[in-house]
Every structure is written in structure tokens, then in C-alpha cells.
């Protein structure tokens, strides 16, 4: 590779053109083209969108019906061994050899990725320290909790110090604290100048780790870009929560609908939540709530604003439900 090509390939770590993958008569990727820039990139989409299929195609684990894929300028199928050394992969489902102790498993995976045994063992200790597995590393993986298994999966993905990392739903099955720690680890890994593609159906995970998101649904790229740009124009979306008599709450909704662009109204346990666009502050809303004789419980910008990018683009009826938690 010339120096010029190398620089270009790292600006766009992964370049894909017109990938089509089908499983029997299921079209999992539909003429999918996307260039994945370096840095942390969130691959976001509902269940069944094609995220794992996209990752497996990039890794050369499945061969597309058609389309071109290049990782740092190399073909994952025909240049398999060169690609293997520079990528790390944390699969969505279990890849662990349960009858191994974690330390032996991670060291073994390092050797599979081209490391010498005498380098793989000390490096595996270092990586298990990094992901927070202590003395348990000598125990069989079969005795591990889900969260511990996720950590070992991450350790084996980074043991050979790859330049490009694929993490498929890394926070799956983790409790809130574990999830936070996993996202922290991902941020730390990216500080060491790596490209990381993180697939998830949890919007907040992407917001926590990434500047750039690719949104995928039904095997197609819906939109992609810098998160700030994707969120531009959404910052005026606010929500207000009120309590009161049923009729009073209905009147309040009506008053808001007359003056604002109301996006949604939901009612739960005697409380009404209204989402609407309001570039101003909350003073006028407070007055309106007094007029309508309802009690104002909360008024604030909508935090999970990324969800709004999906409004109108995803069909929620076909299992494409996005988790906002
Ligand atoms: N081995 C397979 N055999 C048949 N169909 C498959 C297979 N793997 C995936 N599919 C189908 O391909 C489509 C894309 O699946 P994929 O696993 O890539 O989605 P995903 O975005 O990773 O979903 P999830 O969030 O559930 O992991 C789905 O309709 C899925 O049912
Ligand atoms: Mg998946």
C-alpha cells in the first residue's frame, strides 16, 4: 500500500459499497453502502436491523451476495490473515470456551491472532486487569456471571492490540453499574488511537461513547453523521408533566396544542406527559398550567433526544422497537 492509500484508508477505516446479504429469503442487508470513519462510531438500530450481519460481513465471516468491502484498504476475504491481525471482535453471542480459565482463554485468543505464547500470557494478565477481572481469572469461565463474561469477551478482542475494533452489543445483559463501566472501558480504549464500531439498540449507549452514529433499519442505512448535527434542531424539544383532574389535564393539552407544535401526549398513573417544541423558557408554561388549574410536576428538555431522529423513519410495528433506557 502506498503511504497515500494508507492515510486515506485510516480516514475511512472501513469502506463498503452495495453490500447485499440474504439468509434464504430474508434480505438482511439491502444494497448497503457506508463508509465508517475512524474514532468511535455507533451502529444503531432496532432488533433485526442487520447490525450483526454488517459486522460479520466486514470481518469476512460471511461472504455477501454482492458488494465491496475494504478494511484499511484490504479485502477481508482474500487478505484474511493481514486483516485478522489488525482487527478485534467482540461478538454479540457467546464466543467463550467455558471449560477454559479466563486467563488461558484470553492468551489462547491472542495466539490465534498471531501473538507468540510468551507475549500473549503477560498481555492477557494486563488486559484482564484492565477490564476488571481479578483473581477470578484462574476460575473456569463457566462459573462466570453475564457481566464477567462480557468483560472477558472484551479482553480477548483487544489482547493483540488491534487497530480496529468491532463490539457487537457490548453492554448486553449488564446491570446499570456494569454498563457504565463497560462504556468507560470503550472510551479508554479509543483514547489509544483506535477505530471502534459499537453496535447497539440502546440510544443512550451511543450518546455516551460516540461522536458519530450510523442508523440502520431493515438492512438499509437510514442516516449517519456527527451526533451534534443529527441532533441539530431537536434541542427545542421539551417535555412537561402535569397532574390534576382529568378534565383539567385535557384542557391543558388543548391549550398547548393551540400554541405549540405538540409531538406526543401520554398518560400514566394520573399524570400527563406532553412533548412539544418550545424554544423559550418555562415561564409561559407555568402560567398556562395555572390557568388550566393543573399542577406542573416537571418541565425540561427531552434528554433522550436521539430518539427523535427516528420519528417518521422507523416502522415501529414490525418489531423495530428501540429501547430508550
Ligand atoms: N443465521 C441466520 N439465518 C437466518 N436469518 C438470519 C440469520 N442471522 C440473521 N438473520 C436475519 O437477518 C436479519 C438481520 O439480522 P441481524 O442479526 O444482522 O440483526 P441485528 O441488527 O444484529 O439484530 P439484534 O439487535 O437482534 O442483534 C434479521 O431479520 C434476522 O432474523
Ligand atoms: Mg445483532
Cβ 207 vs Cβ 306: under 8 Å = yes
Please indicate, yes or no, whether residues 48 and 168 belong to a single structural domain of this protein.
yes
**pLDDT of 316:** 42
Q: Has residue 315 been placed in a domain? A: no
Is residue 169 assigned to a domain? Answer: yes
CA distances from 145 to 126, 182, 262 (A): 21, 15, 44
Q: Are residues 45 and 75 in the same domain?
A: yes
CATH of the domain at 213: 3.40.50.300
Shortest-distance atom of ligand 1 to CA 45: 21
Whole-number pLDDT of residue 233 = 67
Q: How many domains does the chain have?
A: 2
More confident residue, 194 or 111: 111
Record the cell numbers describing residue 17, joined without a space. Answer: 459499497
Asked if 202 and 54 sit in the same domain, the reply is yes
In a domain, 319, yes or no: no
**Closest ligand relative to 27 C-alpha:** 1
Ligand 1 atom 31, closest CA: 48
Regarding whether 51 and 124 lie in a shared domain, the answer is yes
Look at residue 194 and tell me if it is in a domain.
yes
Residue 236: the pLDDT is 79
Same domain as 87, residue 39: yes
65 and 196 part of one domain: yes
Top pLDDT among 63 and 11 is at: 63
Answer whether residue 316 is part of any domain. no
Q: Is residue 96 part of a domain?
A: yes
19 in contact with ligand 1, CB cutoff 6 A: no
pLDDT at 282: 83
Is residue 227 domain-shared with residue 243, that is, in the same domain?
no
Return the bridge partners of 323, or none. 202
Looking at 177, 196, 231, the residue that finishes a domain is 231
Per the CB < 8 A criterion, the answer to whether 296 and 286 are in contact is yes
Q: What mean pLDDT comes out for the span 260-265?
A: 90
Per the model's pLDDT, the better-predicted residue between 73 and 232 turns out to be: 73
Residue whose CA lies nearest to ligand 1 atom number 4? 23
Q: For residue 310, is it within any domain?
A: no
pLDDT band at 37 (very low <50, low <70, confident <90, very high): confident
In the chain, which ranges are E strands?
12-23, 26-37, 40-44, 66-71, 87-90, 164-168, 195-200, 212-217, 220-226, 237-243, 261-268, 271-277, 295-301
CATH number at residue 266: 3.30.70.260
Tell me the longest C-alpha to C-alpha distance in the chain: 75
The pLDDT of residue 5 is above 70: no
d(CA 73, CA 2): 10
Give the model confidence (pLDDT) of 154-211 as tens digits. 999 999 999 999 999 999 989 999 999 999 999 999 887 789 999 998 878 888 898 7
Pocket probe mutation, ligand 1, options 22, 25, 51, max atoms within 8 Å of Cβ? 51
Question: DSSP state, 137?
Answer: G
Q: Which of 181, 207, 231 is the last residue of a domain?
A: 231
Q: What is the residue range of 129's domain?
A: 3-231
What is the pLDDT at residue 54?
95
For residues 134 and 279, state if they share a domain: no
Same domain, 198 and 269: no
Angle at 308 between CA 306 and CA 311, to 5 degrees: 135
Distance CA 126, CA 83 (A): 24
Residues 171, 263, single domain; the answer is: no
Ligand 1 lined by 323 (C-beta under 6 Å):
no
Per-residue pLDDT, 303? 56
In a domain, 14, yes or no: yes
**For residue 319, what pLDDT is reported?**
36
Distance CA 39, CA 280 (A): 35
Does the predicted model carry a pTM greater than 0.85?
Answer: no
Q: Which of 203, 231, 259 is the last residue of a domain?
A: 231
- Cβ 26 under 6 angstroms from ligand 1: yes
Percent of the chain with pLDDT over 70: 87
Euclidean distance between CA atoms 301 and 310, whole angstroms: 18
- Which one-letter DSSP state was computed for residue 38? S
For residue range 279-294, what is the model confidence (pLDDT) as tens digits? 877 888 999 999 999 9
- Which pLDDT belongs to residue 38? 83
pLDDT, greater one: 307 or 176: 176
Residue with the nearest Cα to atom 3 of ligand 1? 23
Domain co-membership, 129 together with 245 = no
Do 155 and 289 lie in one domain? The reply is no
Amino acid at each position: 500500500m502506498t503511504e497515500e492509500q494508507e492515510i486515506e484508508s485510516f480516514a475511512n477505516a472501513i469502506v463498503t459499497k452495495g453490500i447485499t446479504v440474504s439468509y434464504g429469503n430474508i434480505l438482511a442487508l439491502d444494497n448497503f453502502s457506508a463508509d465508517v470513519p475512524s474514532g468511535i462510531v455507533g451502529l444503531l438500530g432496532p432488533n433485526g436491523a442487520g447490525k450483526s450481519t454488517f459486522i460479520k460481513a466486514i470481518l469476512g465471516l460471511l461472504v455477501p451476495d454482492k458488494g465491496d468491502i475494504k478494511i484499511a484498504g484490504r479485502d477481508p476475504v482474500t487478505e484474511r490473515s493481514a486483516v485478522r491481525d489488525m482487527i478485534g471482535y467482540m461478538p454479540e453471542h457467546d464466543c467463550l470456551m467455558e471449560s477454559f480459565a479466563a486467563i488461558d482463554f484470553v492468551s489462547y485468543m491472542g495466539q490465534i491472532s498471531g501473538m507468540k505464547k510468551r507475549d500473549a500470557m503477560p498481555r492477557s494478565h494486563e488486559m484482564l486487569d484492565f477490564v476488571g477481572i481479578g483473581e477470578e481469572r484462574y476460575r473456569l469461565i463457566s462459573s462466570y456471571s453475564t457481566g464477567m463474561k462480557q468483560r472477558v469477551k472484551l479482553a480477548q478482542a483487544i489482547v493483540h492490540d488491534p487497530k480496529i475494533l468491532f463490539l457487537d452489543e457490548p453492554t448486553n445483559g449488564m446491570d446499570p453499574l456494569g454498563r457504565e463501566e463497560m462504556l468507560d472501558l470503550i472510551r479508554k480504549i479509543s483514547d489509544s488511537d483506535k477505530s471502534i464500531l459499537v453496535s447497539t439498540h440502546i440510544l443512550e449507549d451511543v450518546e455516551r461513547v460516540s461522536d458519530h452514529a450510523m442508523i440502520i433499519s431493515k438492512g438499509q442505512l437510514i442516516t449517519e453523521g456527527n451526533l451534534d448535527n443529527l441532533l441539530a434542531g431537536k434541542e427545542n424539544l421539551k417535555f412537561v408533566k402535569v397532574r390534576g383532574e382529568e378534565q383539567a389535564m385535557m384542557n391543558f393539552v388543548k391549550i398547548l396544542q393551540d400554541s405549540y407544535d405538540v409531538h406526543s401526549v401520554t398518560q400514566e398513573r394520573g399524570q400527563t406527559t406532553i412533548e412539544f417544541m418550545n424554544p423559550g423558557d418555562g415561564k409561559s408554561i407555568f402560567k398556562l398550567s395555572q390557568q388550566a388549574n393543573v399542577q406542573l410536576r416537571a418541565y425540561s428538555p427531552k434528554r433522550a433526544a436521539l430518539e427523535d431522529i427516528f420519528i417518521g423513519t422507523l416502522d415501529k410495528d414490525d418489531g423495530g422497537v428501540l429501547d430508550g433506557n
